Amino acid sequence: MSNADTKILKLLPEKNAFRKMLNITVFIFFLYILEAVTTVFISVWLSQTFKLAAYLSVILSFAVLLLIVSTDIDSCSKLTWSIAIILIPFAGAGFCLYSLYKVKSLEKRCQLKNKTKSFPQYPGCYVEYFPCGAQLWQAILKEIDSAKHYIFLEYFIVEEGKMWGSILSLLAEKAQNGVEVRLLYDGNCELALLPHDYPQRLAALGIKCKVFSRYHPLFSVKYNFRDHRKIFIVDGKIAFTGGINLADVYIDHNYTEGHWKDTAVAVKGKCVDSFIKMFLDMWNYDAPNNTEYARYYTDHQIYAYNGTVSPFGCDPFDGIKASVNAYSEMLNNAKKYIHIMTPFLVPGEGLLNALKRTAKSGVEIIIIMSGIPDNKLMQTISETYYKELMKCGIKIYRYTKGVIHAKMFICDDVKAIVGSINLDYRSLYHNYECGVYMYNSKCIADIEADFQRTLKVSALAEEKDINGGKPLTKIIGASLRLVSPLL
């Protein structure tokens, strides 16, 4: 089916920018800021007004610093919390204690649920690579049109427009014809893109919908853990994943800042079962021990392709750190080259050391990033890492045609990862993410060929270009780097 033949379905009236800002969840976000400012004000006032409070503040801060040092968290987080405690002792120490306690509580609850703990390697699977959002969109429309039993969607961003409107039109038609359709999207969408009642609007079309981790007026650390996955499954036969969300910018439609470069893969075969498990784990995050999984699995064709495919998911509470381990494994075992596309470069201490160590061993490492960043704050932080990486021989290129939103690792023509995982602290440690690890798959040649095409229209970054060569911007970048685990 051609996307030109598909109707565009919209459930919301056109909004101007001002009306979007009036969204109730944005109001809730400002309440969080008010809570934080009030807490800091009270902390400073107590310390300045009462000597006993000042002494208690010092004792509490020292005790919490000792706790942080002995806690099993990334060293970057330890540094960030230490700075917060030193700058605002009472509030910083109190908030750190609250966060550690709540995260441990969330971790215990999550460990009781029926979640994926291992990610098998599957032989005999088919993988297809999509070098841009428009091609993926066309493929998704075709698969929806052929769906007979069910369609599962899990996305970080869903925004009404040409892409989502065409998909929604077909989903509604399929739902009316008896196909089970489920959509799970992250609560961040409610900040400006979708209203709180959007699930009810979809239910009227026969589509089941859930919102992951909705925002509420009282601050909670659970909002720090977002569902950043992109998963599309049809009948258990095929699954799509990558960096592409369901919004027009991802198909490069009406984007005025240049070309939006994004990528994805489709998998067929037994490996689709891992995506079904990942999706249902998230769908049932508020209903542990659910037993509905088996009825969505199906028999699979065995494809005459060499190599293995391993879809994997990242859960901030499972203690595995699957994305960090996957990237580290690839870096530590590379012989010839590592080629990377990523929008952000805030890798944390472990991956930073792995990148530098691998480059010093003589392995070629090339990283392609945005020439026109879609997130200037993260770009400013990312550039603070350029100098030390360049000194190790790593080459960093900027895509001259626009934005890089792809998240890809390619190694030695035999390994590749395509998924939703950025090289930044939030993606690596805080978010729910997913990807596909491929070994000796024929599709890896297509991925590397696309990397080389992109490299030809990218410019090598030099030290004089870092943060535009402006001293003030460099200072801002270095300051933001200190608190990057909280961003």
Question: pLDDT per residue over 412-467, tens digit each?
Answer: 999 999 999 999 988 998 899 999 999 999 999 999 999 999 999 999 998 877 76
User: pLDDT value at position 36?
Assistant: 60
Candidate ranges 80-84, 116-120, 187-191, 427-431; pick with highest mean pLDDT: 427-431
Distance CA 40, CA 44 (A): 6
pTM metric for this prediction = 0.87
Average pLDDT score over residue span 260-286: 94
* % of residues, the chain, pLDDT over 70: 78
Assess contact for 355 and 394: CB atoms under 8 A. Answer: yes
CB burial class (10 A; 0-12, 13-18, 19+) of residue 294? Answer: exposed
Sign of the dihedral through C-alpha 299, 304, 309, 311: negative
> Closest Cα partner for 435 from 341, 354, 352?
341
pLDDT higher than 70, residue 373: yes
DSSP code at position 321: -
Query: What CA dihedral angle connects 302, 303, 307 and 313, to 10 degrees?
Result: -70
324 Cβ contact partners less than 8 Å away, ≥ 6 residues apart: 348, 350, 351, 428, 429
More confident call, 193 vs 109:
193
Distance CA 72, CA 55 (A): 28
For residue 337, what are the β-bridge partners? 364
Question: pLDDT per residue over 161-191, tens digit each?
Answer: 999 999 999 999 999 999 999 999 998 888 7
Q: How many CA atoms lie within 13 A of 255 on its CB side?
A: 20
Instruction: Work out the number of other CB atoms within 10 angstroms of the CB of residue 342.
Output: 24
Element at 395 (helix H, strand E):
strand 395-399
Average pLDDT score over residue span 224-228: 87
Strand order in the sheet with 395-399: 122-123, 308-314, 433-439, 415-419, 408-411, 337-341, 364-370, 395-399, 458-460
Joined together, the tokens standing for residue 356 give 């530098």
pLDDT higher than 60, residue 29: no
User: pLDDT value at position 290?
Assistant: 63
Question: pLDDT per residue over 57-68, tens digit each?
Answer: 777 777 777 777
Joined together, the tokens standing for residue 120 give 């098998």
> Closest Cα partner for 239 from 185, 287, 310?
310
Complete domains list, the chain, with CATH = 3-10+121-312 (3.30.870.10), 20-111 (no CATH), 314-486 (3.30.870.10)
Distance CA 416, CA 462 (A): 27
CB burial class (10 A; 0-12, 13-18, 19+) of residue 153? Answer: buried
Average pLDDT score over residue span 215-242: 85
Average pLDDT score over residue span 63-81: 73
For residue 21, what are the β-bridge partners? none
User: pLDDT value at position 21?
Assistant: 42
294-298, 303-307, 365-369, 417-421: the lowest-pLDDT one:
303-307
pLDDT higher than 50, residue 22: no
Distance CA 341, CA 369 (A): 6
Joined together, the tokens standing for residue 267 give 């998998």
316 alpha-carbon distance from chain centroid:
12
Strand, coil or helix: what is 150?
Answer: strand
pLDDT higher than 80, residue 55: no
More confident call, 234 vs 478:
234
Alpha helices in 71-195 (DSSP H): 75-87, 89-111, 133-146, 162-176
Distance CA 285, CA 20 (A): 29
Question: pLDDT per residue over 303-325, tens digit each?
Answer: 987 789 999 999 887 777 899 99
Candidate ranges 68-77, 223-232, 244-253; pick with highest mean pLDDT: 244-253
pLDDT higher than 60, residue 28: no
Assess contact for 415 and 438: CB atoms under 8 A. Answer: yes
49-53, 204-208, 227-231, 407-411: the lowest-pLDDT one:
49-53
Residues counted in the chain: 487
Average pLDDT score over residue span 246-275: 93
Distance CA 220, CA 339 (A): 38
Distance CA 393, CA 420 (A): 27
Question: pLDDT per residue over 318-360, tens digit each?
Answer: 777 899 999 999 999 999 999 999 999 999 888 999 999 999 9
User: pLDDT value at position 486?
Assistant: 60
Distance CA 258, CA 142 (A): 28
More confident call, 77 vs 304:
304
Joined together, the tokens standing for residue 425 give 């602290």
pLDDT higher than 90, residue 269: yes
